[in-house]
Amino acid sequence: MSRSLLFEMNVAAIISYDGTNFHGFQMQNQSRTVQMVIEQKLEKIFKERIPVVPAGRTDTGVHAIGQVISFKLTKCPFGIEKLHDILNYHLPDDIRISELKIMPENFNSRFSAKSRVYVYAVCTKKDICAHLARYFWNINISLDDLKVPLDLIPERFCFRSFSRTSQDRKLNFGTVNFSNYVIVEDFFYFIIEAPSFLWHTVRFLFGEAVAVAKGKRSLEEYKEALDGKKRLVLYKAPPKGLHLWGVSYFDQKLGAICEKNIIKDGLYGFFKPPSFVDIVKSP
């Protein structure tokens, strides 16, 4: 039985959410966001405002399977397992906490992160199941043609070529820790892992790859954008197919675990979040 905690503690949580009815993660005036909902529930439980820090700020309509958040509690009258149950009881159905863990004082879900894994999911089945329609981009496309531009993605490419960031941003060429795709029947999962991403980079990167596969964009233009010689921001994949699958806090390829899970268990492996065992290095 876990005892009550009556001292300040730094708490991390692995959470999932359906982004359909959220205006992204970050707090916004008069809009329902993931951060707003979680902070409201924490304030209701602890009678004080408790700021929540995410590993990544997902945009409107983007989902998360293994987002990591952290927050500090000055006191907690019950154990961590009980806190887990209480939070899930108060949270709405489109936000779930899969794990809760007390972390060292210097842990910060955003600044301690080594990499983020995003998955863009597509289904080519003509009549996709209604339960999955909000999580996959349902398109008629040749998966063999789609693989061609994605196979060009190198270990470093120009992130800014696939982003509508302002001109003063300095991140041009970003490092890719892992990039691959998995095909399971009618489902296509594009997995990409990097220390950080620019605004909408993954959606433009994938959307422009789809444009190449459909003959709307040349393969040479795609290659030029990867090399930083051209910007491609016309074809952006819709947010519903994008998922923040996991966040790693030590030097590893978490994307490879994602790939393995999908190959082994298909949809179940895709929707199964990584655990703290997967993402935090044991002492």
Cite the active site residues.
Answer: 59
Write the CB contacts of 157 (distance below 8 Å, at least 6 apart in sequence). 173, 174, 176, 226, 227, 228
Q: Using the 8-state DSSP alphabet, how is residue 153 labeled?
A: -
Which of 274, 267, 270 lies closest to 252 in space, CA to CA?
274
Do the Cβ atoms of 95 and 104 come closer than 8 Å? no
Which secondary-structure segment (H or E) carries 247?
A: strand 242-248
Q: Using the 8-state DSSP alphabet, how is residue 215 labeled?
A: T
Which of 35, 24, 21 lies closest to 69 in space, CA to CA?
35
How many Å apart are CA 212 and CA 262, to the nearest integer? 25
Q: How far is CA 244 from CA 29, 49, 63, 199, 228, in A?
A: 24, 26, 6, 14, 25
Write the CB contacts of 144 (distance below 8 Å, at least 6 apart in sequence). none
CA 3 to chain centre: 33
